[in-house]
Amino acid sequence: MSIEGRKLLVTGGTGALGRAVVLAALDRGAEVAATYLVAEECAAAETAFGGRAVLVQADLGSEDQTATAVDAAAAALGGLDGIVAIAGGFDMGPLAEVDGSRFDAMMSMNARSLYHTLRAGVPHLKAAGGGSITAIGARPAVAGAAQMAAYAASKAAVMSLVQSLSQELLASHIRVNAVLPSIIDTPANRAAMPDADHAAWVTPEALAKIILFLTSSEAAPISGALVPAYGRA
């Protein structure tokens, strides 16, 4: 896949999946800016990325902070022609225990953060003459999952945004897609599910290849796609 010279913003670029995407993009010759939330994430990412990526702080639940961070990333890279929106969160529990504040938190972390990012980022893509947006959905948003109603609803909102914006932005030559993982093979998930078949999960590195393919010129005909990446989980 060819992404050499692409100017990419990766939100949530310091998490397990975000870090894999940033490293893979850098290794393929892209210029990358990544958002982080807390200072500890920034220090670890600086080491992991070897100073090759621009790091910008933002709480993406805040529209103002998101706009400031996206504009800073675009200024540092000399524009943007791709956005990979990975920032998000997870929560689960039975309906009786997941109150409105936890539901709101899921919507903010997953759907609102994406909405803010794209409101700020799309003008930069239009200024570049087009580009790509790749978001992260989830299998529970397609098939449902017990005790994941709030999470699934928030990811369903993400996927609806993707499909709606893929039509809205078509004339601007901006492609919008989403990748839908099942369980990602991360240290946190292994700790939470020590007895699971970890070999059936999808690695961050495998997901990064799919995500970066969708940003590449080879994926030019693809927009509005919800790409399942379930592994064997």
In a domain, 1, yes or no: no
User: Is 100 part of any domain?
Assistant: yes
Q: Which domain holds residue 187?
A: 7-229
* Res 43 pLDDT > 90: no
Residue 103 pLDDT: 98
Residue type at position 171: A
pLDDT in the model for residue 188: 86
Percent of the chain past pLDDT 90, that is, above it, reads 86
Q: What is the distance, to the nearest Å, from the Cα of residue 124 to the centroid of all Cα atoms in its chain?
A: 18
Residue 20: pLDDT above 80?
yes
Give the number of domains in the chain: 1
Angstrom distance (rounded) from CA 230 to CA 233: 6
Q: How confident is the model at residue 232 (pLDDT cuts 50, 70, 90)?
A: confident
Alpha helices in the chain (DSSP H): 16-27, 39-49, 63-77, 100-106, 113-127, 140-143, 149-168, 187-192, 204-215
**pLDDT given at position 34:** 98
Mean pLDDT rounded to a whole number for the chain:
95
Q: In terms of DSSP H, where are the helices of 128-148?
A: 140-143
3-class SS shares of the chain: helix, strand, coil, % to 5: 50, 15, 35
State mean pLDDT over 176-204: 91
Q: What is the CATH number of the domain that holds 99?
A: 3.40.50.720
pLDDT at position 2: 87
89 in any annotated domain: yes
Is residue 2 situated within a structural domain?
no
pLDDT of residue 186: 87
pLDDT of residue 233: 73
- List, in sequence order, the alpha helices (H) in 107-180: 113-127, 140-143, 149-168
pTM: 0.95
pLDDT tens sequence across 131-188 = 999 999 999 999 999 999 999 999 999 999 999 999 999 999 999 999 999 988 888 8
